[in-house]
Structure 1
Amino acid sequence: MKDILFLLAISLAGYILVRILLKEPILPWKEKKASAFVPKPKKKNKKNKSSTNPLEEEEAAPFSDLFPNVKTVANHMIHFSDNRFVMMAEVEPVNYFLLDEDEQEAIDTVIETWTAQISYDVRQYLQNRFVDLTEPILEIKKTMEREDTLNEEARTFGQNMIRDLESWQKSTPRYDTKRYILFEMQVDPNDIKLHEEDDMQERIIDKAFQELYRRVTTAKNQLRRADVFVELLSTDGICEVLYYAFNRRKALKNRYSDIEEHEMLSLYVTADTPTKRIIKVRGELERVQKEEREKSEQAAG
């Protein structure tokens, strides 16, 4: 009897082992579990993709289409048609993660104090630009031309460095991040008291500039204690930011500073002009400005 029970136990153990190896249910009348196999997604063939030049870009939409309410950029501000004004300031950040814990705590305290005092609109704007090595390359060339005591090995080294930098910039574009703070406000003409000799539009611009400049100065004085330097952008600086925003790739070839140096931003013709023509153009400008003032006075009245 014991031998029969021993053989049954061995047979039962062998049966269970075989069912487990075959991944079958131990009890025959139980249904087999569905397989958990999930087919792997097929890899896309990347060979069909055409390689594109990172410095090429589609033509940007006209500025007036993207920002239809912008009236002008002047007096260090962007002036909108509904009497909104935006003043921009560039920020030189501090390398926060290279500081110790006490220094980081001091920076956090200063920034928290400044943000707690803000009761007006403040926005941050980050702009990625291609790294431009034109200025360092020009500086190296000027140094090589200015130094007459350089030996042949030093000049060869400088020429190879210039060639490598130019090749590196063209073949492997890299980005540099510019950081800005935008201060915005809207002036209500009803809050302005005019005297007889005052012009409404000039008073609106003066009020906007004084208030926004005060805000920029407050941010500059507060953040300086955290080694964060804030500098007000001039009218030309704002135009440069807008130029890079709409021509991020093209700006590497057609640099804004080159456009400025060639006087392509000038409002007037810089060629030799007779005195009579200058007087005539000046008189025409004064007439147009007078008509605009009269229109604004009529609209305000």
Structure 2
Amino acid sequence: MANTRGGLLVYGVTDKTTVPVGIDPDEVNEQQYAQWIRNHVQPYLPDLIFTALTSPDGQLSFLAIDVPASPMAPHHVYGTAAKDKDQQAAVVPYRDRDHTAWMAEHQIERAYRERFTRTQHAQDETDRLLAHALDTCLADQAEPSAWFVAVARPERPLPRTAPPLAREKAPDLCATARVRSQHLTRNPLAVGPLTGLEVVSSNPRPGLRRWVFSTLPLRMGREIYTELHHDGSTVLAANLSWKACAQMTWQTPQRTASWSTRTSSEPAAATPSPSPTNSPAISAWTAPCTSPQPSPPPNRRP
């Protein structure tokens, strides 16, 4: 199955009549099955999922094995020849409906050619997404700037029957990514790669089989460009230059300090806590303000 489109193996059902007969669940040994695959299948076949199932009445048990389509196909199954114990024989099986057949020489050659084609296609698609992100982000850059650009594509493509990414799900993915990125730094005031994306995360723009989050048209704050493709590909580009980081850093205390309205002659009071919807950098700013307007940032050199 891994050499073709993948599939599902169910143990506990007869082959021809598909009558459920069940298996003994105590004899299921997933570790032994995985060890056999490691010893006899080359290249190694990962991502196999073993699931033991029991009927609602508890009378019958089954073993389901999910075999995904492998991007490293063809896989060879090695065994010992019956006549010569020192000779290692290898076959390349493939599934034809409910039958197992063995690939001929020309089929093996075609399978290898398709593997190399998939690898080259994946690299070409990654380069294309990277070039598109660079052209989009650097088109209007008047000054040299440092950008962080990351492109990721799933190794195994999604099924054709998989529904596209819904619009209401795209902001949830961005929010989850921002939460995970916050755990990568110990400083809550640090400007992370997704800081500033919350400005546009609630309003994704439709693209060609993708959703786009971009702060580039705003011409203010942090410049971030993100794409969430329906096929699972992801693009992230963030401006890491000093000008963008400094602008975001100094915007944060100004917004927080504006909550305090006391003058320098009034006694110090606690600054109100920001709402949970603010960014991590804003919510962590708790220093009291001693004047109606915060002082401008000092001059810094890059």
Structures share fold, TM-score greater than 0.5: no
Q: Greater relative contact order (Cα 8 A, min sep 6): structure 1 or 2?
A: 1
Q: TM-score normalised to the size of structure 1?
A: 0.16
Q: TM-score, normalised by structure 2?
A: 0.16
More helix by share: 1
